Amino acid sequence: MVDFRKNSGIVMAEVKAVLDAVENAQVERFVDKVTTASRVFATGEGRSGYVAKAFAMRLCHLGFDVHVVGEATTPSISPGDLLVAVSGSGETPVTLHIAKAANTAGAQIAVVVCDADTSLARLADAVLVIPGKTKHGKGKPSAQMPGTLFEQCAWLALDSIVLDLMALRGESHDGMRRRHANLE
């Protein structure tokens, strides 16, 4: 029998437990890196990549100069820029390679990971730990497929950060709407 109410309650409780564990000092450092960067580049693989792209889209709506790594129009990264990398494991080979390249180019790096003790986090200038269970088993327990809880919570954490950025920039929904895609 389908029990949507029960299952959605489980998901919501898991998400709340993870988001309640996010450290505000890490959020503040992450926000500082975003707001002081000349340009922001976003990357991630799989569902984490969708989270990174969604965050990049909202940054675009906020008026940031933002690019998604791997797109044909993405320029080269340089000092003064920021790479935002999303990876639950913090060990995703492609994401790690991109972060190393950004580091070599002199860019700052902000990561969203499940655990601060990862190769990706060790490269970062700002680490935002979202302790939702990853496909590798780290993080808070979950009834959901491994990786799902991290991805859900990373998306919601970054959307919450968008609210902070809106307030910091004095941005309104109308202003953001004017920058929203109109060729769709």
The confidence score (pLDDT) of residue 86 equals 98
Residues 157-181 pLDDT 10s: 999 999 999 999 999 999 999 999 9
- Checking if the pLDDT of 182 tops 90, the result is no
45 as an active site residue: the answer is: no
Record the pTM: 0.95
Q: What is the mean pLDDT of the chain?
A: 95
Residue 37 near residue 86 (C-beta atoms within 8 A):
no
108-141 pLDDT, tens per residue? 999 999 999 999 999 999 999 999 877 776 778 8
Domain covering 9-170, topology: Rossmann fold (3.40.50)
Domain boundaries, the chain: 9-170
Mean pLDDT, range 54-67, rounded to an integer: 98
Handedness of CA 112, 113, 114, 115 (dihedral sign): negative
Residue 82: strand, helix, or coil? strand
Using DSSP, state whether 4 is helix, strand or coil. Answer: helix
Catalytic residue among 91, 151, 171, 184: 151
- Band of residue 143 on the pLDDT scale cut at 50, 70, 90: confident
Question: How would DSSP label each residue in 90-143?
Answer: S--HHHHHHHHHHHHTT-EEEEEES-SSSHHHHH-SEEEE--B--TTS-SB--S
